[in-house]
């Protein structure tokens, strides 16, 4: 009989978003599960357990990103399931939900199973699939959503495009309601953003680039909320960029009342909280985003919405592109940036250091909230929480660790990160999935506490 692997975390600031506890203590992992948590005390660890001295670092559930692009199949020059999930683990994320805008598109049960199979073979972090709601994400024919849900799709989205037709949107919401899956909308009315490259305003005028008004996001968002009033599907607006959208979401949640508000949600991404369209100056394609970077007013409104609980999910919208693609001129370069390996530090900078929210709330928005959005607890017992008997998916975060973002050092295959060279604080120092250490920076930063050798994939 073999001895089960055990991890004994000591001296950690243990934060659990479910019970809302935030206390120094010890946590014991045996095999794949959390065996004991002792807030303010000690656990009874077996003698063979690997001791991990947290030194006051935050020990919390593994971070969950509900919005990444892993590019496989079809975009392997940008990212693969192997490299994208290694990038996730290095960024503190033990779970990611991948978007269906691959080539071919993830619009069949077979495609969902393909990604799940590749993830089982090659992934570090867990991968859940967000399936396309329409065939080829073209918006004119329903995808076989029931069979995709059966195959494992945790939510649906045509991300990359919004669903233009109101009639199709209504059907998609009805199917999502029946299947008990969230619909995640990329809010973009293409007729309003047509040709648009950056936020409508003085910067667009100065650079002579076609504008992308806030209306393109807000009009589709308002339409969807109107359509969903009767249907009451679980509706989620992705990567909100407009301050107006934050107000729309606040009003919509107030209308349905506090007990139903969780059925309408919105998500923010780090770049929309830290950069304005000024970053596009000099035709910098590194700041070319969909939806576009906007203004300080929008940043302020989005932060207000995070502070008051209107926006209650955070994501990265990790969108890898090759150096050659991003080196094209501004009009023809692709939209998007990578985010998995710096998102935590950037959120700490935008939200905690700025006094918008505290660490326990930030962790809730990065763990329990996305787990609930995607119904992940029905797949993995205890995911998104610290639960005795539940899965040991954990992230150890040093909130005071100052470091410089170096895109060259990323595990991701791509380098398109406008935060390269930024000095930040807060670093994920260890990532554990089902009791297995996926990523460990404690050896490098603190050799005196070198951990037992292990072999992350």
Q: Which of 224, 317, 398, 440 is catalytic?
A: 317
Q: Which spans in 30-126 are helix H? A: 81-90, 109-122
Closest separation in Å from C-beta 193 to Zn ion = 12
Structure tokens at 119: 């993830």
Q: ∠ CA(130), CA(103), CA(140), 5° rounding? A: 70
Nearer to Zn ion, 241 or 411 (CB): 241
Half-sphere exposure of 81 (CA within 13 A, CB side): 23
Nearer to Zn ion, 62 or 336 (CB): 336
Nearer to Zn ion, 387 or 414 (CB): 414
Q: How many angstroms separate the CA atoms of 52 and 102, rounded? A: 39
Rg (CA), the chain: 21
| 60: nearest Cα among 362, 301, 286, 303 | 362
Please check whether residue 19 is in contact with residue 367, taking contact to mean a CB–CB distance below 8 angstroms. Answer: no
Nearer to Zn ion, 336 or 390 (CB): 336
How far out from the chain centre does Cα 257 lie? Answer: 26
Nearer to Zn ion, 69 or 349 (CB): 69
Closest separation in Å from C-beta 132 to Zn ion = 13
Closest separation in Å from C-beta 271 to Zn ion = 12
Q: With the C-alpha atoms ordered 12, 17, 22, 23, is the resulting torsion angle positive or negative?
A: negative
Other Cβ atoms within 10 Å of 338 Cβ, number? 30
Q: How many angstroms separate the CA atoms of 44 and 42, rounded? A: 7
User: Phi/psi class of residue 151: alpha, beta or left (left: φ > 0; alpha: ψ in -120 to 50)?
Assistant: alpha
Closest separation in Å from C-beta 243 to Zn ion = 18
Nearer to Zn ion, 86 or 186 (CB): 186
Q: Are strands 21-30 and 6-16 parallel, antiparallel or unpaired?
A: antiparallel
The footprint of Zn ion (CB under 5 A) covers 159, 186
Closest separation in Å from C-beta 160 to Zn ion = 6
Query: Angle, nearest 10°, between helix axes 215-231 and 166-179?
Result: 50
Please check whether residue 392 is in contact with residue 434, taking contact to mean a CB–CB distance below 8 angstroms. Answer: yes
Closest separation in Å from C-beta 14 to Zn ion = 34
Nearer to Zn ion, 159 or 312 (CB): 159
CA distances from 43 to 97, 213, 275 (A): 33, 55, 44
317 is catalytic: yes
Q: How many angstroms separate the CA atoms of 293 and 302, rounded? A: 12
Nearer to Zn ion, 28 or 68 (CB): 68
Closest separation in Å from C-beta 298 to Zn ion = 17
- H or E element at residue 185: strand 182-185
Q: Is 418 helix (H, G, I), strand (E, B) or coil?
A: coil
Residue nearest to Zn ion (CB): 186
Closest separation in Å from C-beta 186 to Zn ion = 4
Q: How many angstroms separate the CA atoms of 340 and 11, rounded? A: 27
Write down how long the chain is: 457
Would you name the residues annotated as active-site residues?
317
């Amino acid at each position: 009989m073999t001895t089960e692997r055990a991890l004994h975390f000591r001296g950690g600031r243990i934060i659990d978003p479910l019970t809302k506890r935030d206390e120094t203590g010890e946590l014991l992992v045996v095999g794949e599960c959390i065996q004991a948590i002792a807030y303010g005390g000690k656990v009874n660890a077996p003698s063979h357990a690997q001791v991990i001295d947290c030194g006051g670092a935050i020990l919390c559930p593994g971070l969950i990103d509900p919005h990444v692009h892993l590019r496989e199949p079809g975009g392997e020059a940008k990212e693969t399931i192997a490299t994208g999930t290694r990038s996730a683990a290095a960024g503190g994320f033990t779970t990611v939900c991948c978007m269906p805008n691959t080539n071919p598109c993830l619009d069949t049960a077979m495609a969902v199973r393909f990604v799940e199979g590749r993830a089982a073979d090659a992934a570090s972090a867990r991968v859940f699939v967000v399936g396309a709601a329409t065939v080829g994400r073209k918006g004119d024919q329903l995808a076989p959503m029931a069979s995709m849900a059966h195959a494992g799709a945790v939510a649906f989205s045509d991300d990359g495009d919004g669903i233009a037709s109101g009639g199709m949107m209504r059907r998609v919401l009805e199917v999502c309601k029946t299947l008990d899956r969230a619909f995640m909308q990329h809010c973009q009315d293409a007729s309003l953003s047509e040709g648009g490259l950056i936020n409508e305003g003085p910067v667009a005028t100065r650079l002579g680039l076609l504008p992308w008004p806030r209306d393109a996001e807000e009009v589709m968002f308002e339409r969807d909320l109107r359509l969903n009033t009767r249907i009451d599907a679980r509706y989620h607006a992705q990567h909100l960029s407009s301050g107006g959208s934050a107000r729309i979401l606040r009003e919509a949640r107030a209308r349905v009342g506090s007990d139903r508000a969780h059925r309408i949600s919105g998500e923010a991404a780090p770049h929309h909280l830290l950069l304005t369209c000024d970053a596009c100056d000099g035709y910098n394609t590194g700041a070319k985003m969909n939806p576009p970077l906007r203004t300080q007013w929008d940043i302020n409104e989005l932060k207000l919405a995070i502070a008051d609980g209107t926006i209650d999910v955070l994501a990265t919208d990790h969108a890898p592109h090759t150096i050659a693609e991003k080196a094209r001129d501004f009009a023809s370069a692709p939209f998007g940036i990578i985010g998995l390996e710096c998102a935590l530090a950037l959120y700490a900078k935008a939200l905690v250091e700025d006094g918008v929210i505290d660490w326990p709330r930030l962790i809730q928005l990065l763990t329990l909230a996305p787990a609930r959005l995607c119904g992940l607890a029905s797949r993995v017992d205890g995911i998104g929480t610290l639960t005795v008997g539940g899965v040991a998916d954990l992230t150890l975060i040093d909130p005071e660790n100052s470091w410089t973002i170096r895109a060259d050092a990323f595990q991701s295959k791509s380098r398109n990160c406008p935060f390269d060279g930024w000095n930040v604080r807060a670093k994920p120092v260890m990532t554990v999935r089902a009791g297995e250490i996926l990523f460990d920076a404690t050896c490098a930063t603190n050799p005196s506490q070198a951990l037992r050798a292990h072999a992350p994939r």
